[in-house]
Amino acid sequence: MLPKSISVIVATAALVLFNRLAAPADANSSRGNKLLSVAIRAIRGQEDAVRSICYRSNYIAYGVYGKKGGLVLSEKLTAKSIYDGLPRGRYRIEVLRDNARWTDGLSPFTVNIYAYAYNGRVSTYLKTGSGTAQKMASIALGAVSGRIPRAVALGLYRQTGWNTSIFGFTSNHPGSRHPRFSAYINPTQKSVRLKYPVEGEGAVQRVPTVRASWEVWHHKRYLRVVRIGILATRIFLLDPRKAYSISAYRATDWAVENAAGGPTIRPQGFVEGKLDVDGFYQPVPGVFFPQSVRAAGFAREGGKVTEVAKWSVAFSRVQVNGPAVTGDTYLIAFPRGAVVHDIDTGQSLQIGGTTQQQLREIERAVRAAR
């Protein structure tokens, strides 16, 4: 583990790289638009070829600085994930083991086993184990809802690595519709109205700016795409040798604070991050998925830059368009006698029977809540 002073130097160096990458690009030139058109066609070809992606992932995260300085281990998570290839589309995430402890590193690890799924109509959750590494308890606690639990989905997207590829890349600013990546970097996007006022401006409506140019990085040429949105700037390095898959990206988010007049975006405060992809699988011809990723987050306050978090995700057993993926895959089957909480109605249910019987009962509860 690097000493804190060296860590800050490393973080500062990373931000120097970020600022170099963020220099003005070949903005609205015909050449830049042609580069984007070629990339978007290749990316859309990958997106259209995928009906489902299955993989195993191992996530390791380090939290904020502990009392003794330095980043401390905060979570290790192993999961099996299945997605239908669409951001905010159908998914099933089985967390085989989630080890976590307080970020100061003083308390013992807790261990949980659980699963989330969303089939396009209803989300289901089931927790089957909880305790410590020395003593686990078998339980059956579930939940159902008629919508995607947004906070949970975004958290698991990062922990399982889904938003590190072109298939699941998501922006997490308020009101985001989580488009496909090919649409996210398309320069002909509609304007987006900001929910929060920008300091000194009030609520505004803007069209995201997208720029493209070539960039030499690690002695190879990548397409550098800059997307300047309302709440964030994203810089992507896309590999033309891998059908323009994401090889790296850098992020700068505006800080949102609660002021006397309501939530306000403060230009002086940033949360900055970077992510790098270490190689690709090609599970089917023309479709690429990361082998592993490394990421870090930085905070800048009062001119000081601090590394506040870092994490990595390694992938294995990647399969595209597997024959075993059916509609029932995206529904958690509760065991008989499981206690299930209906999030929409606030009621608790005891559900048994077959998967289809469960689905009918769950959807009946969701319709009643609506």
With 70 as the cut, is the pLDDT of residue 151 above it? no
- Specify the 3-state DSSP secondary structure of 134: coil
- Structure-block tokens of residue 39: 């990339």
Pick the more confident residue, 191 or 59: 59
**What pLDDT does residue 323 have?**
86
**What pLDDT does residue 56 have?**
97
* Single-letter code of the amino acid located at 135: K
With 80 as the cut, is the pLDDT of residue 94 above it? yes
Lowest mean pLDDT among 22-26, 200-204, 323-327, 357-361: 22-26
- Residue 269: pLDDT band by 50, 70, 90 thresholds? low
With 50 as the cut, is the pLDDT of residue 27 above it? no
- Residue 304: pLDDT band by 50, 70, 90 thresholds? confident
Q: Round to whole Å and give the CA distance between 322 and 45.
A: 18
List helix spans (H) across 78-189. 150-159, 181-184
Q: Round to whole Å and give the CA distance between 235 and 14.
A: 14
Q: What is the pTM of this model?
A: 0.79
- Residue 294: pLDDT band by 50, 70, 90 thresholds? very high
The two most distant CA atoms of the chain are separated, in Å, by: 63
**What pLDDT does residue 40 have?**
96
The mean pLDDT of 247-260, rounded to a whole number, is 76
- Residue % of the chain over a pLDDT of 90: 33
- Residue 52: pLDDT band by 50, 70, 90 thresholds? very high
The mean pLDDT of 332-357, rounded to a whole number, is 76
Q: Round to whole Å and give the CA distance between 270 and 267.
A: 7
- Specify the 3-state DSSP secondary structure of 137: strand
Lowest mean pLDDT among 66-70, 123-127, 345-349: 66-70
Q: What is the pLDDT of residues 157-191, one digit of tens each?
A: 889 998 889 998 865 544 455 678 998 898 877 66
* Buried/exposed code over 149-175 (b: 16+ C-beta within 10 A; e: otherwise): beebbbebbbbbbbbbbbbbbbbbbee
The CA-based angle 67-71-76, given to 5 degrees, is 115
Half-sphere exposure for 201 (CA within 13 Å, toward CB): 15
DSSP 207: P
Q: Round to whole Å and give the CA distance between 102 and 264.
A: 30
With 70 as the cut, is the pLDDT of residue 265 above it? no
* Single-letter code of the amino acid located at 254: W
- Residue % of the chain over a pLDDT of 70: 68
**What pLDDT does residue 45 have?**
97
Q: What is the pLDDT of residues 104-123, one digit of tens each?
A: 445 557 888 999 999 888 88
Neighbours of 265 (CB within 10 A): 21
- Residue 140: pLDDT band by 50, 70, 90 thresholds? confident
Which of 329, 357, 286 is CA-nearest to residue 82? Answer: 329
With 60 as the cut, is the pLDDT of residue 348 above it? yes
- Residue 344: pLDDT band by 50, 70, 90 thresholds? confident
Highest mean pLDDT of the ranges 132-146, 292-306, 313-327, 346-360: 313-327
Pick the more confident residue, 24 or 76: 76
